[in-house]
Structure 1
């Protein structure tokens, strides 16, 4: 949504108008020409409490992580220095929630050791309410922050407000843009290009129409990595928003490609419609 800041019909239906600041819906509302603050949206702690209450399960289970790694050849699993950019296999686990108000992921190596965390940042209270009562937030700006276990920010991912196709801007810990992940199509197998400046240095290609499995190629078209979505059973698929992925990097990659490859695995749900659920 690239509309300039202005008043629009309230998407929550709670008021006549709500103010769009150019990036997000705000708590400023208007009824019969009288402006006010949506008091319910100022209770940020209440929404965060709801978010915590709707969370369950244990993401940090080495046995489950080994199960997610599955049949990837043991020969391809080696010590990668236990960092986000050097491990050949990354297991990305989303916190299991009945309703998602904050995107939260943990990133593990193949042995089950957590090496990074992913958190959604910069959400207004209004956006959290939208996530609670509707799926309209999928069209708004999303920001993810990836940190190591010492809290150092490694990557920042920004998906500007969208209507149809997505773009994810990938920046390093100093906010310097590394590159972009740009959605190329909307129908059929979903594909993305990996871009640095005006140059395409790789591509992400969905391998089925639901786009749960992705092949990542370098500029020559050679597969350098693969992202596989792992379901934990039909019940969780139907009734929670949790998504889990395994990123298998076939060989050491240089910057900026490695940052874009890692970012791709951490932003699949953010780049695609978050309510596009599927069973396989």
Structure 2
């Protein structure tokens, strides 16, 4: 990716260098994803919770009844990724269910990213709300931060409850999808039950 294309972005979840994540995005209980200028890029919606499960969650406030499935949707509402949590493993698929890879907890603040049985990177949270995602070679490819404004984020400032995803390199699949899935869904699962 050239420095010029990094600044310009591409107008999609997979091409923008900065994503602002977390502002509520409607009645479906999801949250929005915006570019650095505040333009909507997509949403993340918790799915798989029927009315009874929602009622039990509201009455008991138990993590056992919280949704553990997410759909990542583009700005047109089309599903581009699905993420399903099973214990300490997050399975990432395309909209049609084709497997992309998984994100597996290996320690309190450390996750392995893998695809087709091979390691493609790691995600670490060295304490606090921030994450760093590295490729298989150990190079940092993306990071998330809460409440901070990276130097190049010039159009919009994160609001309360939002976090910023900074993609440091142009990524291809499966890493691109795993980075987006991790950056958009791990925070709500880990921080909010």
Structure 1 contact 90–247 (Cα < 8 Å) conserved: yes
- After superposition, the CA RMSD in angstroms is 2.5
Partner SS state of residue 126, structure 1: helix
Equivalent-residue separation in structure 1 for 2:191 and 2:140 (angstroms): 25
Equivalent-residue separation in structure 1 for 2:43 and 2:24 (angstroms): 11
**Count, aligned residues:** 179
Structure 1 contact 170–178 (Cα < 8 Å) conserved: yes
Counterpart residue number, 1:168: 90
- Point out the structure with max Rg over C-alpha: 1
Partner SS state of residue 110, structure 1: coil
Relative contact order, higher structure (CA 8 A, sep 6+): 2
Q: Scaled by the length of structure 1, what TM-score is found? A: 0.58
CA-CA distance at 1:103 after TM superposition: 4.4
Equivalent-residue separation in structure 2 for 1:201 and 1:118 (angstroms): 24
Equivalent-residue separation in structure 2 for 1:168 and 1:93 (angstroms): 19
Counterpart residue number, 1:191: 110
CA-CA distance at 1:95 after TM superposition: 2.0
- Structure 2, unaligned runs of 5 or more: 149-159
Equivalent-residue separation in structure 1 for 2:35 and 2:64 (angstroms): 29
| Residues 241-278 of structure 1: per-residue CA shift (max 9 Å, x gap) | x7311110111011110110011111123441524xxx
Equivalent-residue separation in structure 2 for 1:107 and 1:78 (angstroms): 18
Equivalent-residue separation in structure 1 for 2:65 and 2:113 (angstroms): 21
- Structure 1, unaligned runs of 5 or more: 1-73, 232-241, 276-280
Structure 2 contact 23–31 (Cα < 8 Å) conserved: yes
